[in-house]
């Protein structure tokens, strides 16, 4: 329904103030001074989305030809149109120039070869990962993007989630957005176009069950505000969807009701070695994987094909007194992740506060622990004894774990319930090489664009830093095409 009165208007209306929103806004503003407005769901102080709490790396590829070959290989059996791959590859080479041209300070990560996630795929040596400024992490690349927006007269309206796209039923043009502000509808007219940059469906359990195979639930390590709103809004105006089952996960993490996002356990980090014995078991009290395996953003090679790490729900990390006494189970350094950077939960140094809260359970024996957490006591006792024998023999013949091969010895023993956790989802409305959201027949929905992880190009495998790289690349593409539209009024 077209409102009789609009509460605000602008040439280009951007939905979501993360990396893709920032790149779109700055581009649209700088090209011909389009009048740009950003709607943001989170309250001021919690904006920035996953971009703000990410590890802060972005991809800048060294050769468009190699980047195209690498992306094509990453797509595996999922084809993405060649034209999309070409545009992505060309634009990905320009991220540093764009940022430096605006006064940024692109710095290449150290340990570059380790950053290539699939070195055996063609073109992989095009991967170069950057961040802004001398230090990596701590929201610093985001702070640069944020300051680029804030140094321009671009209004940001916080706590105003977009709820609906307003479409001319005859021409199908998108004319604006119905948002909510203070519990009331808030109509924003977009004279030229709307760009959806409101992230994925990391926090929408219904969409998770519907689109992510085999996951009864999953929690996010990033912003809790990405709830798939862009998917619902785009579907309602006739958009096609793509890459809905592709996500960066799962990992195994602690989720408690008091905090919306997950805590990653230090002992489960692929490279962190903690003293003491630790295993993870499923609902049958048996181990099911190498707990220290380095996945490729959640994917593991199974029978020759990359698939999401098979996990169980629920899962329990079971460990001994030596590990309990070795320091905090959680790394609270505010380097990345919503819980550490924004929530700033102050985990106790000796884990005693979390034991007191019941996040950690304790018992004298594995059998007694099993009774507390609802597992079969005999099975857990047997699993611990079996693991101890493997650890003492120095070889995990069950799952090939190579790190922290220590038995659970000193009592009492402890458990933390783990949930599947993810970094982000890649699916959403399908876009074309101009950044336009398209219908199932491939024709664009007039005046509707997107960028970022909402309908990302990544269909199967994912190269780390590719998401923020894509926010910049498609943020620029959508920003310049949106601003080139002729106003409808």
Between 15 and 92, name the residue whose CB sits nearer to ligand FAD. Answer: 15
Q: How far is CA 443 from CA 14, 171, 196, in A?
A: 22, 13, 17
Q: How far is the CB of 271 from ligand FAD (least distance, A)?
A: 16
Q: How far apart are CA 226 and CA 214, in angstroms?
A: 21
Residue 287 φ/ψ, nearest 5 degrees: -70, 155
Among 207, 265, 423, 473, binds ligand FAD (CB under 6 A): 423
The reply to whether 479 sits near ligand FAD by the rule CB under 6 A is no
Between 204 and 432, name the residue whose CB sits nearer to ligand FAD. Answer: 204
Q: How far is the CB of 4 from ligand FAD (least distance, A)?
A: 23
Q: How far is the CB of 179 from ligand FAD (least distance, A)?
A: 7
The reply to whether 20 sits near ligand FAD by the rule CB under 6 A is yes
The reply to whether 54 sits near ligand FAD by the rule CB under 6 A is yes
Which among 260, 210, 212 has a CA at the least distance from the CA of 425?
A: 212
Site string for ligand FAD, 200-239 (x = CB under 6 A): ---------------------xxx-xx--x----------
Between 129 and 287, name the residue whose CB sits nearer to ligand FAD. Answer: 129
Q: How far apart are CA 57 and CA 136, in angstroms?
A: 8
Instruction: Give Cα 36 to chain centroid, integer Å.
Output: 26
Which among 193, 61, 190 has a CA at the least distance from the CA of 126?
A: 61
Between 95 and 351, name the residue whose CB sits nearer to ligand FAD. Answer: 95
User: In terms of DSSP bridges, do strands 305-308 and 299-302 run parallel, antiparallel, or are they unpaired?
Assistant: antiparallel
Stretch that binds ligand FAD, among 39-47, 65-73, 265-273, 345-353 (CB under 6 A): 39-47
The reply to whether 450 sits near ligand FAD by the rule CB under 6 A is no
The reply to whether 48 sits near ligand FAD by the rule CB under 6 A is yes
Residue 149 φ/ψ, nearest 5 degrees: -70, -45
The reply to whether 421 sits near ligand FAD by the rule CB under 6 A is no
The token pair that represents 103 in the structure block = 């006064």
Among 8, 11, 12, 18, binds ligand FAD (CB under 6 A): 18
The reply to whether 367 sits near ligand FAD by the rule CB under 6 A is no
Say which DSSP state 267 is in.
Answer: G
The reply to whether 192 sits near ligand FAD by the rule CB under 6 A is no
Among 61, 467, 478, 481, binds ligand FAD (CB under 6 A): 467
Are 307 and 300 in contact by the 8 Å Cβ rule? The answer is yes
The reply to whether 466 sits near ligand FAD by the rule CB under 6 A is yes
SS3 category, 141: helix
Q: How far apart are CA 452 and CA 450, in angstroms?
A: 7
Restricted to residues 287-346, the positions that interact with ligand FAD (CB under 6 A) are 336-337
Q: How far is CA 277 from CA 21, 137, 317, 369, 389, in A?
A: 45, 31, 10, 15, 12
Instruction: Give Cα 88 to chain centroid, integer Å.
Output: 19
Length of the chain: 489
Stretch that binds ligand FAD, among 205-213, 250-258, 277-285, 468-476 (CB under 6 A): 468-476
Q: How far apart are CA 205 and CA 421, in angstroms?
A: 12
List of residues contacting ligand FAD (CB under 6 A): 15-21, 39-42, 47-51, 53-58, 161-162, 197-199, 221-223, 225-226, 229, 336-337, 423-424, 452-454, 465-469, 471
């Amino acid at each position: 329904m077209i409102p009789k009165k609009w509460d605000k208007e602008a040439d280009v209306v951007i939905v979501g103030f993360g990396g893709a929103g920032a790149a779109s806004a700055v581009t649209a503003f700088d090209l011909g001074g389009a009048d740009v407005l950003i709607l943001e769901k989170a309250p001021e102080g919690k904006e920035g989305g996953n971009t703000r709490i990410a590890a802060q790396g972005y991809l800048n590829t060294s050769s468009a030809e190699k980047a195209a070959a690498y992306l094509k290989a990453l797509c595996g059996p999922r084809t993405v149109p060649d034209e999309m791959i070409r545009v992505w590859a060309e634009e990905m080479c320009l991220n540093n120039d764009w940022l430096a041209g605006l006064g940024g300070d692109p710095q290449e990560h150290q340990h570059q070869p380790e950053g290539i996630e699939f070195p055996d795929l063609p073109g992989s040596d095009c991967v170069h990962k950057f961040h802004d400024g001398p230090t990596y992490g701590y929201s610093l690349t985001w702070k640069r993007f944020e300051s680029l927006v804030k140094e321009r007269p671009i209004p940001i309206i916080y706590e105003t989630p977009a709820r609906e796209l307003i479409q001319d039923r005859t021409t199908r043009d998108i004319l604006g957005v119905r948002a909510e502000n203070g519990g009331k509808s808030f109509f924003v007219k977009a004279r030229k176009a709307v760009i959806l940059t409101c992230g994925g469906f990391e926090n929408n359990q219904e969409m998770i069950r519907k689109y992510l195979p085999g996951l009864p639930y999953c929690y996010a390590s990033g912003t809790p505000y990405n709830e798939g709103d862009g998917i619902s809004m785009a579907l309602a105006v006739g958009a096609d969807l793509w890459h809905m089952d592709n996500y960066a996960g799962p990992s195994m993490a602690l989720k408690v009701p008091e905090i919306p996002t997950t805590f990653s356990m230090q002992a489960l980090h692929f490279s962190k070695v903690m003293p003491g014995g630790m295993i993870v078991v499923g609902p049958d009290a048996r181990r099911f994987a190498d707990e220290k395996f380095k996945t490729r953003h959640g994917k593991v090679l199974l029978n020759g094909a990359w698939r999401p790490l098979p996990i169980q729900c629920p899962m329990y990390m079971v460990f001994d007194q030596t590990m309990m006494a070795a320091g905090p189970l959680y790394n609270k350094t505010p380097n990345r992740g919503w819980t550490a950077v924004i929530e700033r939960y102050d985990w106790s140094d000796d884990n005693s506060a979390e034991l007191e809260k019941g996040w950690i359970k304790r018992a004298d024996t594995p059998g007694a622990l099993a009774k507390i957490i609802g597992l079969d006591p005999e099975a857990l006792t047997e699993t611990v004894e079996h693991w101890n024998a493997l650890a003492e023999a120095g070889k995990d013949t069950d799952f090939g774990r190579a790190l922290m091969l220590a038995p659970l010895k000193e009592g009492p023993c402890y458990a933390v319930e783990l949930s599947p956790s993810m970094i982000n989802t890649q699916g959403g409305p399908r876009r074309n090489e101009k950044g336009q959201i398209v219908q199932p027949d491939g024709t664009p929905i007039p005046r509707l664009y997107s960028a970022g992880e909402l309908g990302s190009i990544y269909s199967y495998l994912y190269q780390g830093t590719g998401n923020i790289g894509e926010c910049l690349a498609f943020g620029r593409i959508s920003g310049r095409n949106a601003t080139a539209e002729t106003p409808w009024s």
